[in-house]
Amino acid sequence: MKERSMTAILAVILLILAFLSLFVGVINLDPASLLAGDMEQWGVFLVSRLPRLLAILCTGVGMSVAGLIMQQLCMNKFVSPTTGATISSAQLGILLALLFMPESTLWGRAVFAFAAAILGTWIFVWFIQRVQFKDVVMVPLVGIMFGNVIGGVTNYLAYKYEMTQALSSWLVGHFSLVLRGRYEIVYLVVPLVILAFVFANHFNIVGMGKDFSRNLGVPYLLVLFLGLTIAAMITASVVVVVGSISYIGLIVPNIVSMFKGDRIRGALIDTALFGAIFVLVCDMTGRIMIAPYELPIELIVGIVGSLLFIGLLFYRLKHGRKAVRLKNLWDGGCRASAGSVDGGESS
């Protein structure tokens, strides 16, 4: 099964990279002394390296799956947590938590972020459903504007109450603060992604339109809001721990769907794996480039992501919506996905 082998290759790449990433960082870890039982090394490993890896994996999987769901439900390839105001709403939620409950724990902030992200995404989708845009590009543009309005409110409040310093850690995503005890919320991504997999066919049917899903006896609004809620909660749990990370939810599902099509059941695992690889490579690049210092992931993802995005647009211009066929383009497909990994490292 050629279709499966793409998944297998992605999984193997991810495993190798994940293993390597555990030994990249300021303090030198090496497998030999870990096996020899060096307590100090184990400490670093368990408190910092492993949590960081797990957070990265959850972020990559979560953001790309959230993007996949949003794109399907909104019938628009340019919608994602970034262009759908989800991330900025979650940030506003965090700020409100900091303002009203200065003593709040990570969980307290998470609840605020969940509520705000869900509400923001619902409002956005409600709006684009009311105003039927003829041009598909209008939808993400409206989303970006809406997101910026919310971001503006966030910034205003942050300035007014002198919270800009505190907020900045949630505005630019980075993994350097991920330590044991401070990141576990991101695990919520796992059950949410499983839930998304269970309802994958429902999301597909709703993505085909209101009449289409009514005909098949699928409750359109219920599934739409369920899907958006899942996507918003995934996004919010990532934003609370890591901060905002753009582009992943936009680019990863688009690249995968070029090879795999839009059937969520078929594309979800590949999207998740590819998303994890993408974030992991970007994070390792950020750690290596100016070692012993590190660059925030948001910066690397921003650069790599925008390059890939432009590439994607050019590809679409040249080839239209034609799919990349795995059957006849199997070699080419491998090269393309390997190419993007290389691209991440070289930039």
Partner 1 sequence: MRIKELTKKYDGKTVVDGVTFEIPKGKVLSLIGPNGAGKSTVMGIISRLIARDSGQVSFAGTDIKKWKSRDLSRRLAILTQSNHVQMKLTVRELVSFGRFPYSGSRRTKEDEEIIDKAVAYMELQDIQDQFIDELSGGQRQRAYIAMVIAQDTEYILLDEPTNNLDIYHATNMMKIVRRLCDELGKTVILVLHEINYAAFYSDYICAFVDGKIAKFGTVKEVMTKETLSAIYKVDFEILEISGKPLSIYY
**What residues make contact with partner 1 under the rule CB under 8 A?**
75-77, 136, 198, 200-202, 204-205, 207-212, 214-219, 257, 261-263, 265, 321-323
CB of 4 to partner 1, least distance (A): 16
CB of 261 to partner 1, least distance (A): 4
CB of 320 to partner 1, least distance (A): 9
Place of tokens 């990370």: 245
DSSP code at position 302: H
Helix residue ranges, H only, the chain: 2-21, 31-35, 39-44, 50-73, 86-100, 106-130, 138-160, 164-171, 189-198, 200-207, 210-215, 220-242, 248-260, 264-289, 297-319, 330-346
**CA-to-CA distance for 226 and 57, rounded, in angstroms?**
24
If the CB atoms of residues 182 and 263 are measured against partner 1, the closer one turns out to be 263
**CA-to-CA distance for 226 and 222, rounded, in angstroms?**
6
Nearest to 274 by CA among 184, 178, 340: 340
If the CB atoms of residues 182 and 265 are measured against partner 1, the closer one turns out to be 265
**CA-to-CA distance for 176 and 294, rounded, in angstroms?**
8
CB of 323 to partner 1, least distance (A): 5
Contacts of 301 (CB under 8 A, 6+ apart): 173, 245, 246, 247, 248, 278, 279, 282
CB of 217 to partner 1, least distance (A): 3
In Å, what is the CA distance from 296 to each residue of 48, 108, 173, 250, 328? 16, 25, 6, 19, 39
- DSSP assignment of 170-200 equals HHS--STT--TTSSGGGGGHHHHHHHHHHTH
**CA-to-CA distance for 230 and 191, rounded, in angstroms?**
10
If the CB atoms of residues 35 and 194 are measured against partner 1, the closer one turns out to be 194
If the CB atoms of residues 118 and 193 are measured against partner 1, the closer one turns out to be 193
CB of 203 to partner 1, least distance (A): 11
If the CB atoms of residues 216 and 338 are measured against partner 1, the closer one turns out to be 216
String of b and e for 44-73 (b: at least 16 CB within 10 Å)? bbeebbebbbbbbbbbbbbbbbbbbbbbbb
113 and 125 Cβ atoms separated by less than 8 Å: no
If the CB atoms of residues 161 and 220 are measured against partner 1, the closer one turns out to be 220
Place of tokens 């990532």: 238
CB of 36 to partner 1, least distance (A): 49
CB of 3 to partner 1, least distance (A): 11
CB of 96 to partner 1, least distance (A): 36
As given in the structure block, the two tokens for residue 13 are: 């790449």
If the CB atoms of residues 68 and 284 are measured against partner 1, the closer one turns out to be 68
If the CB atoms of residues 51 and 140 are measured against partner 1, the closer one turns out to be 140
If the CB atoms of residues 175 and 259 are measured against partner 1, the closer one turns out to be 259
